[in-house]
Structure 1
Amino acid sequence: MKRDTPDTASILAARLAVLTAFHFFAATALAQADGGQTITLAEAGRARCQIVAAPDADGIEAYAAKTLAGYLKEMTGAEFPVVSPNEFKADRAAIFVGLSEPAMKRLESEPLAKLRDQEHVARSVGQDILLYGKGHRASLDAVMEFLENSLGWRWYSYFEKPVVPKRATLTLKPFSRNRDFDFRSRHLALRYNAEFFIQHGVNMGLETKLRKRRQAVPGYLKSWLPNENFVHTSFSYIPPTPTDKYANGFAWVEKRNYFETNPEFFSVGDSGKRVPNLQLCYSHRGLRDELTRQVRRQIQLSGPRQLIMIDAADVPGRFCHCDGCIALEERYQTPGGPLFDYLIELCNTLKREHPETRLKTLAYRRSQTQIPPRLPEGEKLPGNLIIEFAPIEDCYFADWTHPDPKIQETFQHLQDWAAITAPGNLWAWMYPNPWGTGHEVPVGNVERVITNMRLMHKAGVRGIFLDHHGVNSRSGWSELQAFLVLKLSQDIEADTDALIAEFTDHAFGPAAPQMRQYLTELEAARKAITTLPTQVGYKSRNLDDRTFPYLTPANLHRWQQVFEKMEAATAKLPVELANVRSQRRELDIATLWEWFDLSAAWPGVYTDHRKVAERVLAANKAKTPSGVVPVWTLGEPLVAHFVTLIDAGGEKPLPADFDGIARDRIRTLLPRNNARGENKRSIQDPDAAFGTAAVVDQPQMPFRCGFAEWKSRTPRNVLRGPDLELTPADITPGEYQLHRLGEFDVTTDDSLIWFGRSWQTNLQVGSQLYFPGETSHWEAWVNLKFDGKSWGGKGEDLVVCDRVILVRKTPELLRD
C-alpha cells in the first residue's frame, strides 16, 4: 500500500537506458513537481553527504546504514561514511537512517504519531534525506524504498545479483513518500541467503536455520514476532517417543517418552486403542494441563513477546476416536473441535498471564482443521489467536474463481474464518508451486498466485507464508512468483502486468516477449481445465494425459520451436541465455515423456533424445548469476528413467497379475548400482523391462533385499521394513521372476529399497513417493534374474533387477 506525494529523481531519466524495465515505477518516479533545490548525494565519484545511523539495540539501523552505504558506493564509486549521531557533522548534508537526535531536529514533533505500525517514510528536508518508520525494521524498509524508488535499485531473485545503476554524479529533487505493507506478516520459505528476503521486507522466519543449528541470531534477523518452532509442534511439546520426527523440536523439553508413561495423552485410533503416531488427545484434562505447563515453560525461557504455534501433527485423518474428542467435534461442528476447544482455553489463560503472547494454529485439511468452528452467535475467537489458513488440498491448477465445488468450498471456509477472527489475525499459507510431477513439467500458475493473494486480502488475510517448493531447484516460475508475492505484500493493487514485464525483460532480455507469450499460453491451458484432475492437490503423483491435458505433442513441438528462437536471440548474452535454458528444463522433460509421439510426427526433428536429456542436466549444473547453487537438481531421476525407456523402445507390458489394478496407482522404476570401482553396474538385456537391468552389488546367499528409511542420519536412526529372502530353491536360473517384497509406508524422503549385502544397488523411493503430511502406503514387487553356478545356472555369478513395481494402496494409515 502506497501513499505517495510528488517526488523528484532526475537520475532516473539517464537510468532508463541501463535498466531495461523501469516502466514499473517511472510514472511515480518521473512525475515530479517542478522547482525545488537539487539534492546532491555524489559528484564526480565523491560523496557529498554522510550517513547517520540512529543507535538501536538490535542493530537494524546499523545494518540499514551499512546496506545503504554499500549500494551507494556501487552506484557512484564513492565511500559514504557511516557515523553515529555523536560523530555527525552539522555543516555537511546527511542521510539519516532512523530517528536520531539530529534527525528529530529536522522533523516536526512526534513524527511517528500518525504512522501505522510498519509504515515508513523516505523524504528530503533541505539538503538532508530522512529514512525512518514505525515498528520492527521500519528504518531498513525506508532505506530500501529510497533505493528502489529514488535511485533505481532492483533485486529480482536470489539467483540474480542486485541491479545497481552506475552514476558518478547523483542528484535528486525534493521528495516525500510514505509506504506501508498490505500484509503485516511476510514469510517466504528460506532456502538461501537472507539478504534478498530482508531487503524485500520479509519480517518473519529469517532466523529459522540459525535457530535449528542452535546458533546466535543477529538482532536485525529477528522476526517481527519471534517464533521458536514454526509448524507441526504438538509432538515437540509432548514427544511420544525419543525417536519421533519432532521429538527434538525444543532443546529445553526434558521428557521425550510420554507414550510410555502417559498413553492417555495420545489419540485413540479407529481400533479403539491409544496410538503414538496420530495426534494428541486434546479432550483429556491431563494432556491439557501438561501441554499448558510446557507452554508456560517456553514463555519463561524465551519471554512473553512471541508467537507460539500449537497445531496438529502432520498426519491426516481424524484427531481422536475417544468419546470426549467426538463430543467436541459435534459441539463445534468441525473435525478440529478438540484442538480448537483447547486453544480457546489456553488463549484465555495466556491473555490473563501474558497479554503480549500470541498463539497460532493451522487451518489445515478438511478432515481436521480447515473447517472453522461454529461459535455461539456474535462470538469470535480470542484476540490472541492467529489462524493460518493452509489449503493444501486445493488443486494447484485452480484459483478461487474456479467453479469446482471443492475449490469454492475452500474459499468459503476462508471467508468463514474471517468472520470469527480478530482483525489482523487471519494469515494464509500459500502453495504457489506444484509438488510431484507438476514440479517437473510446464505449469502456468503465476496468475493463480496473483488472484488468490488479492482474494485473500479482500477477505481479511493480513499475514502470508509462501511454501516455495520451486526455489529448491530454480524451477518453473518460482522466481517470478516470489518477486510478485513480495511486491503484492507491499501493495496488493500493484500493476502485476508491468511487474511481469519488468522481471522478464531483466531475466530474458530480447527473448522476453516470447517468454511472456509462452507463459500466457500455459496460463490459458491451465484455465481451460474445467474439470479438475482427481487426486491433484498441492502435488500430483501421475504424469499422464488426464493430469496434463495441454501437454500434447503439438503444443510441445510448438513451444520447442519458440525456445529455439529464444536461444538464438540470446546467443551472445550469456546470462540471459542461461536463464532461457533454465526455463526450458520442464519443457524438455515433458518432451522426453512424449518422445515416441513427437518423433513419429516430426521424425526429422526429434532424432536424439539424449541431446534433450543432456540439455536438462547441463542447465541444472549451470552457475547462476549470483553464484547461489540450487539445493536440488530438477528431474534427473525422471530424465534417466525416460532415457532408459526410450533406449529400450518402450517399457514391456506388466505381468497379468496387475491387470485389474488402475494404471495410475502403479509406478514402475529401475534401481541403480551406485557402487564404487570398476565393477559392472548394469547390463543391456533384451529380456529386461526397459532393455537394461541394474547389477546387484555383493549379492549374498541366501539373497536378501528389503525396504528401509532413515528417520535421522545423525544420530543414525534407521527403520527397517519388509525383507525378502531367496534361496536357490526359490529361483529359476536365467529367467526374470517377480517376487513380492511386501507393504510399507514411505514417511521420509530418505527411503529406499535395497539389494544385496552392501545396499549400493538400491531404488530411492522416498524422493519419488514421499509427500509431507500424506499417508503413502505401497505394496512392492521386485523383478530379479539370477545366473551363475551359485544360483544353479551357468557362467559367472550375476544377479540383476530390471524393474520394481509399486502399487499404491488405500491412502490410510495403519493405525496400530
Structure 2
Amino acid sequence: MTRLGLMLALALLPGVANANTLVLAEKGRARATIVVSAEPSTAEQTAATELAQYLQKITGASFAVVDERQAVVGSRILVGPSREARRLLGARTVASLRPEEFIIRGVGDDLLLVGGRPRGTLYAVYSFLEDDLGCCWMTWYGEESIPHRATLQVQALNRRDAPAMAVRDICCHPNAYSDRQLMQRFLVRNRCQGPDLNFTGDTSPYGGTSQTFAYPPKGWLVHTLFQWLPPDEHFAAHPEWFSLAGDKRVSSRQLCFSNPGLRTALAAAILKRIGEANPAGTYSVSAMDWTGAFCDCADCRALVEREGTPGAPLFDYLAELGPQVQAQFPQARISTLAYRKEQSEIPPRTIRLPENVVVIFAPIDDNFAAPIDSPGNAGTKRNLEDWRKVTNHLW
C-alpha cells in the first residue's frame, strides 16, 4: 500500500469516529480485545501475540488476548478462524482460504484477521501491521520503523489477499548474523518462508517453511554444479565435462552442458542423491557463483544464439533432466537460479521448463534501493515477466 493509501486507510488523529471507523485505542488505552479461537494453532497464537505487541508499541496501550470462550465487552479483533469469525465471514469462505491466503475485514464493531493454515492468519496480522498501520521491519539486526499514535482508528477494511510468489526468501548467509531468533522474526514478518528460514531453528511458531529443501552431498543450497560433480574428482578423467575457455578446458568456470557424457553423469549423480536423501525434496541445479560464460564450445554457443540468453545450455539440460527425475521420483523438484544477466537471469526464447523444475528469480545485478519498476531496473522487470512464459513455478 502506498503512503497515500495508508493515510486514507487510517484516521490517525484523535476525534470522533464515524460509522465506518473502528477505534482500536484512544489516548493510550485499548478500546478493543484480541480474540483467538478456542483451539488456535501455534502460528495463530503467535499472530495474536505479535499483534498485541505491536499495537502496544504503536499506541502505548496494553491489548488483552483471550480465547473465544471468554465474554468480551466492546470491539473485538478476531484473529484466526474462530467460531465467530466463521459466522461473520461464512464457514465456506473461511474453509476456502489457501494456506497463506487471508481476509482483513471490518464487520460492525469488529476487525477480522483470518487466514488459511498454516500461515494465513499470521500473514493477515503482518499485512495489517505493515500495509495498514505503517510498521516496517528493515533488517535482521532488529531495526524497525513503528508509528506512534495514542489514538488509533482504522477505516472499515475489506480485502482478501495472498503473497504473489509461492516461495519468498531474503538471502542471508547463516554466518552473517549471530542472533538467529532476530533473523527468524525478520524473515517471517516480511512474509518469507523460503530456504533461509530453515537456517534459523524451530519455525513451528510461525507455521514452518514452505518447502522441503534438500541438499547435494556437500550441503550448499545454491551454486551447486560442482557439488554434484566436483572438479577435483572428475576433471582429470573428464575435462570435456567442464567449460571450454577459449581453446582450453578449465575446472574453474561451469560445466559443458552440451556434452552428452556430462548430461548422463550429472543426471546419475542427482538421481542417486534424491534416492538417498529425500524423494520429495527440492534439489538445486544452479550455476557456480562467479562471472563469465558457461562454455565457449561451438554447441554451447549455438544454444546461446538460438535462445537469446547466456543460460541456454543450462536451461536446455534442465528441460531434459525434469522428465528423468519425474519418472523415478514424481514428488521431487529441481530448482535453478535466474541469476546475473550475463548468465541465467534472462529466460530462453523457445525452451519451456518441465513442471517439476522451479526457477528462483535472484536479480543480483540490480539497484536494490529502488523498486523493480524503476527505470534503472526495467530490464529486470521485463525478465521477471518473461519468465512467467517459461515456467509455472517462479519463486
Does TM, normalized by the shorter one, top 0.5?
A: yes
Q: 1:343 aligns with which of 318, 337, 360?
A: 318
Contact 1:64–1:143, Cα closer than 8 Å, also in 2: yes
Residue of structure 2 equivalent to 1:35: 19
Hey, what's the Cα distance between the residues in 2 that align with 1:314 and 1:171?
49
Hey, what's the Cα distance between the residues in 1 that align with 2:313 and 2:130?
48
Structure 2: runs of 5+ lacking an equivalent: 215-219, 388-395
Q: Which amino acid aligns with 2:36?
A: V
User: Higher relative CO (CA 8 A, sep ≥ 6), structure 1 or 2?
Assistant: 2
Structure 1 446/459 Cα, relative in aligned 2: closer, same or farther at 3 Å?
closer
Residue of structure 2 equivalent to 1:567: none
Aligned 1:556-595 pairs, distance under 5 A: none
Residue of structure 2 equivalent to 1:163: 146
Residue of structure 2 equivalent to 1:122: 104
Q: Which amino acid aligns with 2:251?
A: P
Aligned 1:367-446 pairs, distance under 5 A: 368-369=343-344, 372-375=347-350, 380-387=352-359, 427-433=361-367, 446=370
Displacement of 1:160: 4.0
Hey, what's the Cα distance between the residues in 2 that align with 1:33 and 1:458?
45
Hey, what's the Cα distance between the residues in 2 that align with 1:128 and 1:81?
15
Displacement of 1:62: 3.1
Contact 2:21–2:155, Cα closer than 8 Å, also in 1: yes
Q: 1:236 aligns with which of 227, 230, 240?
A: 227
Q: Which amino acid aligns with 1:304?
A: A
* SS of alignment partner, residue 188 of structure 1: coil
Displacement of 1:43: 8.4
Residue of structure 2 equivalent to 1:309: 284
Residue of structure 1 equivalent to 2:390: none
Hey, what's the Cα distance between the residues in 1 that align with 2:186 and 2:344?
33
Q: Which amino acid aligns with 1:89?
A: Q
Structure 1 277/40 Cα, relative in aligned 2: closer, same or farther at 3 Å?
closer
Contact 2:105–2:113, Cα closer than 8 Å, also in 1: yes
Hey, what's the Cα distance between the residues in 1 that align with 2:340 and 2:354?
19
- 1:220 and 2:206 equivalent? yes
Structure 1 263/122 Cα, relative in aligned 2: closer, same or farther at 3 Å?
same
Hey, what's the Cα distance between the residues in 2 that align with 1:101 and 1:360?
43
Aligned 1:27-66 pairs, distance under 5 A: 27-30=8-11, 34-35=18-19, 45=29, 48-52=32-36, 55-56=40-41, 59-66=42-49
Aligned 1:600-619 pairs, distance under 5 A: none
Aligned 1:150-549 pairs, distance under 5 A: 152-155=133-136, 157-158=138-139, 160-167=143-150, 174-181=156-163, 185-190=167-172, 193-194=182-183, 195-207=185-197, 209-210=199-200, 218=204, 220=206, 222-227=208-213, 229-241=220-232, 257-259=233-235, 265-273=241-249, 275-296=250-271, 297-298=273-274, 301-302=277-278, 304=280, 306=282, 308-320=283-295, 325=300, 335-352=310-327, 353-354=329-330, 357-362=333-338, 364-366=340-342, 368-369=343-344, 372-375=347-350, 380-387=352-359, 427-433=361-367, 446=370, 450-451=374-375, 457=381, 461=385
TM-score normalised by length of structure 1: 0.38
Structure 1 432/294 Cα, relative in aligned 2: closer, same or farther at 3 Å?
same
Hey, what's the Cα distance between the residues in 2 that align with 1:462 and 1:81?
48
Hey, what's the Cα distance between the residues in 2 that align with 1:39 and 1:181?
28
Residue of structure 2 equivalent to 1:89: 70
Displacement of 1:45: 3.6
Displacement of 1:288: 3.0
Structure 1 341/114 Cα, relative in aligned 2: closer, same or farther at 3 Å?
same
Displacement of 1:182: 5.0
Structure 1 360/149 Cα, relative in aligned 2: closer, same or farther at 3 Å?
closer
Hey, what's the Cα distance between the residues in 2 that align with 1:380 and 1:452?
28
Structure 1 226/147 Cα, relative in aligned 2: closer, same or farther at 3 Å?
same
Displacement of 1:343: 0.3
Displacement of 1:67: 1.0
Contact 2:6–2:131, Cα closer than 8 Å, also in 1: yes
Max Rg structure: 1
Structure 1 457/81 Cα, relative in aligned 2: closer, same or farther at 3 Å?
same
Hey, what's the Cα distance between the residues in 1 that align with 2:371 and 2:116?
33
Q: Which amino acid aligns with 1:124?
A: G
Q: Which amino acid aligns with 2:7?
A: A
Structure 1 319/89 Cα, relative in aligned 2: closer, same or farther at 3 Å?
same
Hey, what's the Cα distance between the residues in 1 that align with 2:199 and 2:145?
23
Hey, what's the Cα distance between the residues in 2 that align with 1:154 and 1:280?
46
Displacement of 1:316: 3.7
Q: What is the CA deviation profile of residues 348-390 of structure 1, one whole-angstrom value per residue up to 9, with x for unaligned ones? A: 2334533563522335344x44565453xxx7333443445xx
Aligned 1:662-673 pairs, distance under 5 A: none
Contact 2:339–2:363, Cα closer than 8 Å, also in 1: no
Contact 2:136–2:145, Cα closer than 8 Å, also in 1: yes
Displacement of 1:324: 6.0
Contact 1:204–1:222, Cα closer than 8 Å, also in 2: no
Displacement of 1:108: 0.9
Contact 1:207–1:221, Cα closer than 8 Å, also in 2: no
Hey, what's the Cα distance between the residues in 1 that align with 2:91 and 2:366?
45
* SS of alignment partner, residue 431 of structure 1: coil
Q: What is the CA deviation profile of residues 198-253 of structure 1, one whole-angstrom value per residue up to 9, with x for unaligned ones? A: 3233443542654xxxx555563854445454431111222223xxxxxxxxxxxx
Q: Which amino acid aligns with 1:361?
A: L
Residue of structure 1 equivalent to 2:55: 72
Displacement of 1:68: 0.8
Q: Which amino acid aligns with 2:229?
A: I
* SS of alignment partner, residue 232 of structure 1: coil
Q: What is the CA deviation profile of residues 117-143 of structure 1, one whole-angstrom value per residue up to 9, with x for unaligned ones? A: 744321233444321235773322211
* SS of alignment partner, residue 252 of structure 2: coil
* SS of alignment partner, residue 106 of structure 1: helix
Structure 1 294/100 Cα, relative in aligned 2: closer, same or farther at 3 Å?
farther
Structure 1 90/238 Cα, relative in aligned 2: closer, same or farther at 3 Å?
farther
Structure 1 164/332 Cα, relative in aligned 2: closer, same or farther at 3 Å?
closer
Structure 1 302/30 Cα, relative in aligned 2: closer, same or farther at 3 Å?
farther
